[in-house]
Amino acid sequence: EIVLTQSPGTLSLSPGERATLSCRASQRIGTTYLAWYQQKPGQAPRLLIYGASSRATGIPDRFSGSGSGTDFTLTISRLEPEDFAVYYCQQYASSRTFGQGTKVEIK
Amino acid sequence: EVQLLESGGGLVQPGGSLRLSCAASGFTFSKYAMSWVRQAPGKGLEWVSAVNGGGRSTYYADSVKGRFTISRDNSKNTLYLQMNSLRAEDTAVYYCAKDTAYYYDSSGYYLNWGQGTLVTVSS
């Protein structure tokens, strides 16, 4: 099973700041088999990024994904108030697994 | 508009059974693989199971293999998850999610999710 490790566990930032979230895989998953989701309390996850760097329909361009192999990054260029949430990465190179999540909280 | 509506959750004793349903609309149901993903209270997401568009090929996480059965009725646009021998660690919100292709192996991420149904396993 491919294990995804996200860091940090919690990111405390202010609106307008840049957020950088990391997702590391226990084995190589190529350049296209990685997705990112945002989840707010009481809601289902929302797809942000697929194929490591492609934004889903309707996702603002302040969200960007990058990386390949075992190391991937989700960047939020300037945090808006609605961006404070939990973010998960997910691999689909071999079965499907999720990372444990990174909480982006207001500082 | 794609809509996925789960039902069937509730309180069940350890060792008991429950069947979840997911009613789909807004797309050609039989053309897409479908999955179940769960989330224990306060925890992260866990992929549980998937089924190809035709319903013949199924896939399971090791944690539920042999206890859960995924199926679909394309004539009713409905996905099911039969859960047997339930354990306390199966307590979670269960989401159904639409895959991006007919075959599980050709897809992998989830654009569309239901609102979830809570399963609580407790005596």
The tokens for B51 are 């089924």
Q: How many CA atoms lie within 13 A of B16 on its CB side?
A: 15
Task: Write the pLDDT tens digit of every residue in A22-59.
Answer: 999 999 997 789 999 999 999 999 999 999 999 999 99
Cβ B113–A44 below 8 Å, yes or no? yes
Tracing tokens 């609605």 back to the chain, one arrives at A82
Nearest CA in chain B to A52: B109
Hey, is the C-beta of A100 within 8 angstroms of any chain B C-beta?
yes
Specify the DSSP class assigned to residue B64.
T
pLDDT > 90? residue A10: yes
Cβ A97–B47 below 8 Å, yes or no? yes
Nearest one of B117, B113, B56 to B83, comparing CA atoms = B117
Residue A100 zone, left/alpha/beta (φ > 0; ψ -120 to 50; rest): alpha
Q: Which of B35, B61, B111 sits opposite A47 (nearest CB)?
A: B111
> What's the angle, vertex CA A1, arms to CA B83 and CA A23, rounded to 5?
110
Residues, chain B, total? 123
Task: Write the pLDDT tens digit of every residue in B24-64.
Answer: 999 999 999 999 999 999 999 999 999 999 999 999 999 99
Share of chain B above pLDDT 90, in %: 96
Residues B103 and B28: their CA atoms lie apart, in Å, by: 14
pLDDT for position B76: 98
Residue B64 zone, left/alpha/beta (φ > 0; ψ -120 to 50; rest): alpha
Distances (CA, A) of A20 to A57, A98, B88, B116: 21, 18, 36, 29
Nearest one of A22, A32, A28 to A88, comparing CA atoms = A22
The tokens for A40 are 């707010």
